[in-house]
Amino acid sequence: MIKDITIGQYIPGETFVHKLDPRTKILLSILFIVSLFLVNKFVGYILIVAFLVLTVYVAKLPPRYLYKGLKPVFFLIIFTAVLNIFMIKGTADTLLFEIGFIKVYTEGLTTAGFMALRLIFLIMGTSVLTLTTSPIELTDGIERLLRPIGKEMAHELAMMMTIALRFIPTLMDETDKIMMAQKARGADFESGGLIQKAKSLIPLLVPLFISSFRRADELAMAMESRAYRGGAGRTRMKELKFTNKDAIAFALFSVLFIGSIAVRFVL
């Protein structure tokens, strides 16, 4: 399960999507999330699926990476859907069946379907952003978008967000190695009740925290040894600039966004 977490991973490439300005990809990702919540009819998700399939195809991303990113949150998706099924109330005309105090309405099933699809497409869409954008590009893109709040503050916020995102897969690999080492020493992480399982995580969490602090200290020393001083006077090997590719990407996405608005307010 730990190996299935793809957040923060980057797949190098020379595709159209990889070469887009990081600011374009960040803005399109935000608008993509907005479009997910604009759609209020299942037919509207045809546009969402078409856009995702086209993006994954153009970026030449292995579909298994998107599937692996969904696996860790399958339980959350199912749990959210079940809650909506049994908690959303409707009218007597929309009652599907009743078992004791449990009542299932058409509105509950519809809401559960919408929430499940939104979570799935939300994770897949954000995964495309991190899989096609390197941590350095992501940092520069976030910094430029946050520049109105102040140059130095924008750089510090962008750096913190990117470092946290970048170290997610590193910590997951470290967790997997520690777990395998503890299992080889006889640790049992699966048997027993909830309290017993929580106690069995202590041999895993203690070395993981120590390793995390050690990595943070090494990163700080490496940045200091390279005379890192934040955003003050910082130069870049590659300056960000919008190109025709970004205009094409915005034009293509506008079809999805306008379609989402039409589904919401016209159909």
The confidence score (pLDDT) of residue 237 equals 67
Euclidean distance between CA atoms 79 and 101, whole angstroms: 20
Segment 35-63 shows an average pLDDT of 87
Tell me the pLDDT tens digit for each residue of 212-248: 888 888 888 888 887 777 656 666 667 778 889 999 9
| Cα–Cα distance measured from residue 63 to residue 124, given in angstroms and rounded to the nearest whole number | 10
The domain spans of the chain are 2-133+239-265
Q: Say what the pTM is.
A: 0.74
| The predicted structure's pLDDT at residue 7 | 62
Which DSSP state fits 127?
Answer: H
The residues facing 253 across adjacent strands are none
What whole-number distance in Å separates Cα of residue 238 and Cα of residue 141? 12
Task: Give, in order, the Cα–Cα distances in Å from 246 to each of 21, 114, 242.
Answer: 7, 30, 6
Q: How many other C-beta atoms are found inside a 10 Å radius of the C-beta of residue 174?
A: 17
- For 200, the token pair is 């069995």
**Across 116-137, average pLDDT:** 86
CA distance 86 to 128: 33
**Residue range 55-112, pLDDT digits in tens:** 999 999 888 888 877 777 788 888 888 888 888 877 766 777 777 777 788 888 888 8
Cα 162 from Cα 157, distance rounded (Å): 9
Q: Are 76 and 119 in contact (CB under 8 A)?
A: yes
Q: What is the pLDDT of residues 139-191, one digit of tens each?
A: 788 878 887 777 777 777 777 777 777 777 777 778 888 888 888 877 777 77
CA distance 82 to 127: 25
